[in-house]
Amino acid sequence: MSSLQTPLAISLSLGIGTAFMPSVRAEGPALESKYCSSFLHKARLKFIDANVANLSNTAIRVEDGEKGTQIELRLGRRVGRGTRGAFYPIENPEVLGLSAEFSDWGVKIPHSTPFLRTFKDLDPSFNGQATREEFRLFSKLTDLYAEAAKLPEFPHAAAWSATRFPTLDIERAIEHELGFLLVKRKLRGAKSLMDLGDEGLRELPPEMVESLEDVFAMSAAIEKASRARGAVIYLDIAPSNLLWVSESEDLAALSMKKPGFVLVEADVTPGNQPFYSPSTMTLEKFLFRAKRRLTKPR
């Protein structure tokens, strides 16, 4: 579908919805309901799919900050896309000085085209800079995690270190004509709950249940630490934002003591609402939703 064929209803839903939806930057309670947030999320993705090119198996040129020269990044097949951007494996990470001996690498490219940028006043995620907000949140949550780890709510026996936020690291950020690019580690053996379901898993084994309990407790500690700063943060611990890490190389890369779940991205819930907050959801319901993710159709 071309940009001119994009349904007007989608465009209007984006504009009307975002006009009345408080920004994540405000870090306050949003006005829209969970169902409204879900609708807007799906509408954005449809809008993006209709107007943003898939860069799978292409190459982009970026600036080498140290040498001041242009280098070519070869992109593999797109492995994910959200409202902020799309993620592509980097097939030649050595040009960025990154070793592929123990980890693979990828780059998150924000959604940005001349057509999309005309909507940036209605929805900032279309200006090519939405990933800059992700980078800001990553830095803020990493800092907040250190405070949360001192609280009694924090799961001190969890798989992850108390000094390293359990998510895929942002190795570096690159300014580019496409927007603010984020270079991230890409784990080789990590699997989503849907991946595990595809492999036939139907019941969560004890070690996964224990790790999910730790994720839930960590979220409570983050919430408490952020509230003490005066602006509560509701961490996105939705089952769709979790990866199971068990391979030795991946565990070492993330400084993990044992297999466990980590977050795909350090992010807040849509609209920074308490969708998965321990203050509004029981642990039993959280575990139920994680189990249900095993059988969710793709």
User: pLDDT by residue (tens digit) across 105-159?
Assistant: 999 998 877 777 777 666 666 777 788 888 999 999 989 999 999 999 999 999 9
165: nearest Cα among 287, 264, 73: 264
B/e letters for 188-208, b = 16+ CB within 10 Å, e = fewer, are eebbbbbebbeeebeebeeeb
271 dihedral zone (left: phi>0; alpha: psi -120 to 50; beta)? left
pTM above 0.85, yes or no: no
DSSP 8-state class, residue 23: P
Among residues 165, 149, 148, the alpha carbon closest in space to that of 157 is found at 149
pLDDT of residue 18: 42
Residue 141, both tokens: 């949550």
Q: What are the structure tokens assigned to 88, written together?
A: 């592509």
Average the pLDDT over each of 49-53, 212-216, 233-237, 255-259 and give the range with the smallest value.
49-53
Residue 268: helix, strand or coil by DSSP?
A: strand
Q: Strand 85-89 and strand 104-110: pairing?
A: antiparallel
